[in-house]
Amino acid sequence: MHKLVLATNNEGKAGELRRLFGDAGLELEVVTIGEIAPGLDEPEESHEPGTTFEHNAALKARYYARATGLPCLGDDSGLEVDALGGAPGVISSHFAWDGATTGEPATLTRPQRDEHNNRRLLREMQGVEGEARSARFVCTMVLARPDGEIACVTRGTLEARIGTPPDVPRGEMGFGYDPLMLVAPDFTRTGAELEPLEKNSVSHRGQAARALIERLHAGVLGGGSPGNA
């Protein structure tokens, strides 16, 4: 069985990807970087204006592939809000601190950070009404071979609108901004109200993962497809 390292310790992301790969019949043992190399230093992502999701995903994929000697999938995802000029973008996971990852945010759990980020987003959107609350989830996946060479890049998006309190936050599933986001096409349910199978069928991460799965079945890593069919 092939082993694939995920350049993340986010169990929400890891769980979604494991389900998607398993449903696709890929014989892959998917492990997070914390499981395969606990204590390994993290690469420094860029939070500078103009930085793209692809840049940060590639940085992580290359770094961890070389460090572990295994193929690695780097995933950078976030929220782009039209009324905020595309923010929070690459600082989505640390929006409440303008992208800072040290100090207070380093002491918080992921759910606690999510709560801070969500509160800031709702503050920033005060006074913005209706369709002007448009936004999208974006996910870019970069697959690196063990030597750090990029094997492929895939991307997915999910259109949404930011709900207005007290209608949001709503829902018990998902993570991050999901409880605030009314997702396309009907904009009536939040991302946190979608069952896992339905969410995977429409989500930004699901789209990027399915494109990646096609490349894996085609043997993008070399040595034949990791599929079992």
What structural domains and CATH numbers belong to the chain? 2-217 (3.90.950.10)
The angle subtended at Cα 88 by Cα 85 and Cα 92, nearest 5°, is 165
- Residue 2: pLDDT band with limits 50, 70, 90: confident
What's the longest Cα–Cα distance across the chain? Answer: 55
More confident residue, 97 or 14: 97
Interval 36-65 mean pLDDT: 87
The pairing of beta strand 2-6 with beta strand 28-32: parallel
The Cα–Cα gap between 14 and 32 comes to 7
Interval 194-218 mean pLDDT: 91
pLDDT over 90 percentage in the chain: 70
Per the prediction, the chain carries an average pLDDT of: 91
User: What are the respective helix, strand and coil percentages of the chain, to the nearest 5?
Assistant: 40, 20, 35
56 has pLDDT over 50: yes
Interval 78-104 mean pLDDT: 95
Show which residues are catalytic: 76
- Residue 229: pLDDT band with limits 50, 70, 90: very low
155 has pLDDT over 90: yes
- Residue 225: pLDDT band with limits 50, 70, 90: low
Buried b (16+ CB within 10 A) or exposed e, 77-97: bbbbbbbbebbbbbbbbbbbb
The angle subtended at Cα 209 by Cα 151 and Cα 202, nearest 5°, is 155
Interval 127-149 mean pLDDT: 97
Phi, psi of 70 (to 5 degrees): -130, 155
- Residue 9: pLDDT band with limits 50, 70, 90: confident
Interval 15-44 mean pLDDT: 86
The Cα–Cα gap between 169 and 184 comes to 17
Q: Where are the alpha helices (DSSP H) in the chain?
A: 11-23, 33-36, 53-68, 104-107, 110-124, 196-202, 204-217
pLDDT per position as a tens digit, 182-200: 999 999 999 999 998 898 8
Least confident of 3-12, 91-100, 107-116, 164-173: 3-12
- Residue 28: pLDDT band with limits 50, 70, 90: confident
